[in-house]
Amino acid sequence: MSSETYVDVLVVGAGPTGLGAAKRLNQLNEASWLLLDSNSTPGGLASTDVTPEGFLYDVGGHVIFSHYKYFDDCINEALPKEGDWYEHQRISYVRCKEQWVPYPFQNNISMLPKEDQVKCMDGMIDAALECRVANTKPKDFDEWIVRMMGTGIADLFMRPYNYKVWAVPTTKMQCQWLGERVAAPDLKTVTKNVILQKTAGNWGPNATFKFPAEGGTGGIWIAVANTLPQEKLKLGENYTVEKVDPKKHIVVTKDGTRIRYGKLINTMAVDALAEKIGDEQLIASTKKLYYSTTHVIGIGIRGARPGNIGDKCWLYFPEDDCPFYRATIFSNYSPNNQPSESAKLPTLQKADGSKPDSDEAKPGPYWSLMMEVSQSTLKPLDVENVLRDTIQGCVNTSLLSPDAEIVSTYHRAFDHGYPTPTLERDGALKEILPKLEDMDILSRGRFGSWKYEVGNQDHSFMLGVEAVDKVLHGAVEVTLNYPDFVNGRQNTERRLVEGVKAFKKVEVRA
């Protein structure tokens, strides 16, 4: 690249959003463009790491499910063969009162001890009666929980679990983000299941999902990037963005390269973007946004997968006997997420912290766990001992037996893990995003536009696609502006909606 280059559209970031933008720019072929990323491998917060022993771990618990045909088509183009994917039925549980309660918890309280069933039913009945007379909307997430589920479920599961996830109390969160993410219990069905001691079936948009056979979730995005012209992807440390000058429409990278642009599609965290722009008002607005750090802990284990693990996918942990809020049986997603049985590895330690019986490297079979632990200014964490505490938590919750042989460990912290939908978030975004657009910058993505409700991989990809359509055609960005429509049941066609006229037609039809 020369010391100064011009493109019509510059994309910053090679995660799902940046790759979605690049894919659309390449498809339309109506503007010159480049994509920059400081990492040498595409994927961003949807990438995958590999330990020296050969265990794969995603950047958190990612699975592929989709609201969009356009997204499906792009993913299937990148990984087109039937053997590229494994299809799974979600098997998820909540660990509570030493029981595995099927997900969603609020529909399966029949699995709880009798006294807890009574507390939950009392609360649900009170909530149902209150909902019949309430004439105001809940003021925060905590009030929404109590109105929808009652104090029993709130105290037993929803409050402690969500604090462990978000690292802020539920009283500090709004409830507009919820959409399809939290199942409201059906009182009649729950009552019937309690009396008959039955459990409710699968619920939610990810009741079935697929996972790549090779390379973890990051392998998807490497494959998507490989469908693009490689000369337009500028990846690596030298392409770290050091400064953005919106007045001159110039981005300066770490190696001193200056790139002039007509429009900038930014996918880095918007608070980091504000710092690189150096606008004090913008920086002050981004400080109203809140986020948590995610620690991903991986444990590779020798031996056959225990019977209590079975075909479980991911598990939720509201109680304080472990630091993690979610565990994924990552080896269940693909047999290639861990070393082959013939690989010989020494035992590092037993799960109870004791030394191995032998230093000799031995073959498998192997399986793996991946845990997520949150941290924020409102939820401090003993980072130095989080690996030790996580392993002990696995023993406490029966994920691991005390004598389990651990052959590999992994720990990586992601500073920006979850964009928290606090009470202040929407007000801050109304200041930030329009101000950036006045500078010819569209900031999009999980942390680029800071909307968790459209922060899954398919949403993030389409935020990039729709940003390009807005830049080139003035189209409506449906995912950014109408998350309830995108996530709602009426969006059965899952089509890329282009332009104001097309969106109005779909809105009326819904």
pLDDT digits (tens, 9 = 90+) for 250-262: 999 999 999 999 9
Would you say 466 and 479 are in contact if contact means Cβ atoms under 8 Å apart?
yes
Bigger pLDDT: 390 or 111? 390
What's residue 63's pLDDT?
79
Which pLDDT band holds residue 342 (cuts at 50, 70, 90)?
Answer: very high
Lookup result for tokens 């997420």: 337
**Average pLDDT of 285-293?**
97
Please choose, from the candidates 308, 307, 309, 354, the residue with its C-alpha nearest in 3D space to the C-alpha of residue 330: 309
Helix/strand/coil for 35: strand
> Which neighbouring-strand residues pair with 50?
56
What's residue 469's pLDDT?
97
**Average pLDDT of 222-231?**
98
CA atoms within 13 A on the CB side of 41: 15
What's residue 213's pLDDT?
96
Please choose, from the candidates 474, 486, 468, 502, the residue with its C-alpha nearest in 3D space to the C-alpha of residue 20: 468
Please choose, from the candidates 276, 233, 285, the residue with its C-alpha nearest in 3D space to the C-alpha of residue 25: 233
Rounded CA gap, 130 and 348, in Å?
55
What's residue 183's pLDDT?
60
> Which neighbouring-strand residues pair with 414?
294
Would you say 112 and 105 are in contact if contact means Cβ atoms under 8 Å apart?
no
Dihedral sign from CA coordinates of 446, 451, 457, 459: negative
Does residue 497 surpass a pLDDT of 50?
Answer: no
Q: Cα angle at 301 between 359 and 307, to 5 degrees?
A: 130
Rounded CA gap, 321 and 383, in Å?
17
Bigger pLDDT: 434 or 509? 434
Bigger pLDDT: 318 or 63? 318
Which pLDDT band holds residue 204 (cuts at 50, 70, 90)?
Answer: low
Please choose, from the candidates 134, 139, 130, the residue with its C-alpha nearest in 3D space to the C-alpha of residue 175: 139
Six-digit token string for 78? 């990148």
What's residue 67's pLDDT?
86
Which pLDDT band holds residue 504 (cuts at 50, 70, 90)?
Answer: very low
Does residue 464 surpass a pLDDT of 50?
Answer: yes
What's residue 280's pLDDT?
97
Does residue 108 surpass a pLDDT of 80?
Answer: yes
Rounded CA gap, 498 and 133, in Å?
41
Q: Report the share of the chain in percent with pLDDT over 90.
A: 77
Rounded CA gap, 178 and 180, in Å?
6
Which pLDDT band holds residue 308 (cuts at 50, 70, 90)?
Answer: confident
Please choose, from the candidates 126, 414, 148, the residue with its C-alpha nearest in 3D space to the C-alpha of residue 297: 414
Six-digit token string for 245? 């000058």
Which pLDDT band holds residue 498 (cuts at 50, 70, 90)?
Answer: very low
What's residue 496's pLDDT?
44
Would you say 113 and 97 are in contact if contact means Cβ atoms under 8 Å apart?
yes
**Average pLDDT of 301-307?**
92
**Domain range list for the chain:** 4-84+213-289+422-509, 111-196, 291-420
- Name the CATH architecture for the domain at 4-84+213-289+422-509: 3-Layer(bba) Sandwich (3.50)
What's residue 502's pLDDT?
37
Q: What is the bridge-based pairing of β-strands 4-12 and 258-266?
A: parallel
Would you say 47 and 221 are in contact if contact means Cβ atoms under 8 Å apart?
yes
Would you say 368 and 337 are in contact if contact means Cβ atoms under 8 Å apart?
yes
Rounded CA gap, 275 and 241, in Å?
11
Rounded CA gap, 95 and 394, in Å?
11
Which pLDDT band holds residue 205 (cuts at 50, 70, 90)?
Answer: low
* CA distances to 391, 392, 401, 461, 503 from 395, in Å: 7, 5, 6, 38, 51
Amino acid at residue number 14: A
Which pLDDT band holds residue 510 (cuts at 50, 70, 90)?
Answer: very low
Residue pLDDT, tens place only, 117-158: 999 999 999 988 887 787 888 899 999 999 989 999 999 999
What's residue 206's pLDDT?
58
Residue 383 is classified by DSSP as G
Please choose, from the candidates 38, 465, 286, 290, the residue with its C-alpha nearest in 3D space to the C-alpha of residue 277: 286
Does residue 41 surpass a pLDDT of 60?
Answer: yes
What's residue 472's pLDDT?
97
Average pLDDT value for the chain:
91
Which pLDDT band holds residue 60 (cuts at 50, 70, 90)?
Answer: confident
What's residue 203's pLDDT?
54
Does residue 483 surpass a pLDDT of 70?
Answer: yes
Residue 158 is classified by DSSP as I
Cis omega before residue 205 (within 30°)? no
What's residue 490's pLDDT?
45
Rounded CA gap, 103 and 182, in Å?
11
Consecutive H or E run containing 460: helix 457-473
> Which neighbouring-strand residues pair with 443?
266
What's residue 368's pLDDT?
97
**Average pLDDT of 456-466?**
96
Bigger pLDDT: 227 or 509? 227
Please choose, from the candidates 402, 393, 300, 405, the residue with its C-alpha nearest in 3D space to the C-alpha of residue 352: 402
Please choose, from the candidates 371, 383, 437, 464, the residue with its C-alpha nearest in 3D space to the C-alpha of residue 409: 371
Does residue 488 surpass a pLDDT of 80?
Answer: no
Q: Report the share of the chain in percent with pLDDT over 70.
A: 93
> Looking at 133-142, 199-208, 340-349, 357-366, which range is the least confident one?
199-208
Does residue 1 surpass a pLDDT of 70?
Answer: no
Six-digit token string for 430? 């109304």
| Residue 10 exposed, middle or buried by CB count within 10 Å (0-12, 13-18, 19+) | buried
> Looking at 338-342, 429-433, 473-477, 492-496, which range is the least confident one?
492-496
What's residue 442's pLDDT?
98
Consecutive H or E run containing 497: none
Does residue 246 surpass a pLDDT of 60?
Answer: yes
Rounded CA gap, 421 and 267, in Å?
18
Q: What is the bridge-based pairing of β-strands 441-443 and 208-212?
A: unpaired
Which pLDDT band holds residue 161 (cuts at 50, 70, 90)?
Answer: very high
Please choose, from the candidates 394, 374, 386, the residue with its C-alpha nearest in 3D space to the C-alpha of residue 309: 394
What's residue 312's pLDDT?
87
Give the global pTM.
Answer: 0.91
Residue pLDDT, tens place only, 74-101: 999 999 998 999 988 888 999 999 999 9
